[in-house]
């Protein structure tokens, strides 16, 4: 990250518990989001410890934003300015905190007695909280959010906006979960094989609802088979599932996809190629011996 270049800092626009927001007079549309840790730290010893922690946190924060940005998720983040500040788009904040969980822990257990720590949510568990310090950020329902009829920057928060926030939270969670899983090497590699007769739209529909690879393997019948295959081949834009006609080919292709990240699968495929070649070579030799 770049060292703090000179940036003309304007008036303070807002201040929360951990951050201050400053106008940037030379950068219309942008603000500076400054961490308050440096200012509020107490005695020198404590300050040292906090600074070390802050640096790691901030690095994580900006790496997360960068990953989201590079993935194509729109965020307010523009760039890191210093160890404790970043530049962001000047936005109005919808006063809702969305929380997405894969496992039950922390405050969820207190609010849902009887649920054991570590309970796994599939699909993900989504919750929302109204940002209201005075009332300790109460949990809200979707209906409460709709009835609040928030209007921010000229936009009224209705069902469409709520659905977008909901889906965005889930997508961002899945992106971060995926990124962290590669660090722990515990991600579950997944390929879907869609097998549906007649007008087999199953694979394309699945493909539109997952980022994992989908292989169509329609069971073709003599009567309508040649027409039915078109549902797997001619798809709406944005879909990229493949189509093969035999179950063996579907398994082979799935194995090749797994082989990209699993060297044991790749080794089996490579050995199988060799074994096929050797048996053809031997058969050829036998054939030549017969014909001589």
Instruction: Provide the binding-site residues for ligand NAG, judged by CB under 6 A.
Output: 18-19, 33, 35, 37, 54, 57-58, 61, 84-86, 126-128, 142, 166
* Cβ-based neighbour number of residue 239 at 10 Å: 13
* Shorter beta-carbon distance to ligand NAG: residue 54 or 205: 54
Q: What is the DSSP pairing of strand 151-152 with strand 155-156?
A: antiparallel
* Shorter beta-carbon distance to ligand NAG: residue 59 or 281: 59
* Shorter beta-carbon distance to ligand NAG: residue 14 or 18: 18
Alpha-carbon distance of 192 to 254, in angstroms, equals: 8
Q: What angle do CA 263, 264, 268 make, to 5 degrees?
A: 115
* Shorter beta-carbon distance to ligand NAG: residue 57 or 242: 57
* Shorter beta-carbon distance to ligand NAG: residue 14 or 256: 14
Q: Minimal distance in Å, beta carbon 202 to ligand NAG?
A: 21
Alpha-carbon distance of 76 to 207, in angstroms, equals: 29
Number of H helices, E strands in the chain: 10, 13
Q: Minimal distance in Å, beta carbon 247 to ligand NAG?
A: 33
Q: Minimal distance in Å, beta carbon 128 to ligand NAG?
A: 5
Query: Are 90 and 159 in contact, with CB atoms under 8 Å apart?
Result: no
Q: Minimal distance in Å, beta carbon 72 to ligand NAG?
A: 21
Looking at the DSSP assignment, which residues form a beta bridge with residue 71?
none
Alpha-carbon distance of 23 to 7, in angstroms, equals: 11
* Shorter beta-carbon distance to ligand NAG: residue 88 or 215: 88
Q: Minimal distance in Å, beta carbon 184 to ligand NAG?
A: 22
Looking at the DSSP assignment, which residues form a beta bridge with residue 112?
none
* Shorter beta-carbon distance to ligand NAG: residue 65 or 258: 65
Q: Minimal distance in Å, beta carbon 43 to ligand NAG?
A: 18
DSSP-assigned letter for residue 133: G
The order of strands in the sheet holding 139-140 is 96-103, 120-130, 139-140
Q: What angle do CA 239, 258, 186 make, to 5 degrees?
A: 105
Q: What angle do CA 88, 91, 96 make, to 5 degrees?
A: 110
Query: Are 76 and 64 in contact, with CB atoms under 8 Å apart?
Result: no
Q: Minimal distance in Å, beta carbon 86 to ligand NAG?
A: 5
């Amino acid at each position: 990250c770049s060292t703090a270049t000179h940036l003309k800092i304007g008036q303070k626009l807002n201040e929360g518990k951990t951050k201050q927001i400053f106008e940037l007079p030379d950068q219309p549309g942008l603000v500076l989001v400054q961490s308050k840790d440096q200012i509020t730290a107490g005695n020198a010893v404590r300050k040292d410890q906090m600074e070390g922690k802050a640096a790691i946190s901030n690095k994580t924060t900006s790496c997360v934003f960068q990953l989201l940005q590079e993935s194509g998720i729109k965020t307010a983040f523009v760039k890191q300015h210093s160890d404790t500040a970043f530049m962001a788009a000047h936005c109005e904040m919808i006063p809702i905190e969305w929380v997405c969980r894969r496992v039950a822990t922390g405050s969820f257990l207190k609010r849902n007695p009887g649920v054991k720590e570590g309970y796994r949510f599939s699909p993900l568990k989504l919750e929302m909280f109204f940002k209201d310090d005075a009332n300790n950020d109460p949990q809200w329902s979707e209906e409460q959010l709709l009835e609040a009829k928030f209007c921010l920057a000229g936009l009224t928060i209705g069902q469409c906006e709520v659905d977008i926030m909901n889906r965005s939270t889930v997508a961002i969670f899945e992106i971060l979960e995926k990124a962290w899983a590669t660090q722990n090497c515990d991600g579950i590699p997944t390929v879907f094989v869609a097998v549906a007769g007649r007008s087999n739209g199953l694979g394309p529909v699945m493909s539109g609802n997952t980022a994992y690879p989908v292989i169509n393997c329609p069971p073709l019948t003599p009567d309508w088979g040649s027409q039915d295959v078109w549902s797997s081949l001619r798809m709406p834009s944005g879909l990229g599932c493949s189509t093969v006609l035999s179950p063996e080919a579907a398994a082979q292709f799935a194995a090749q996809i797994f082989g990209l990240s699993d060297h044991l699968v790749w080794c089996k495929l490579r050995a199988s190629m060799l074994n096929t070649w050797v048996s053809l070579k031997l058969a050829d030799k036998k054939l030549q011996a017969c014909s001589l």
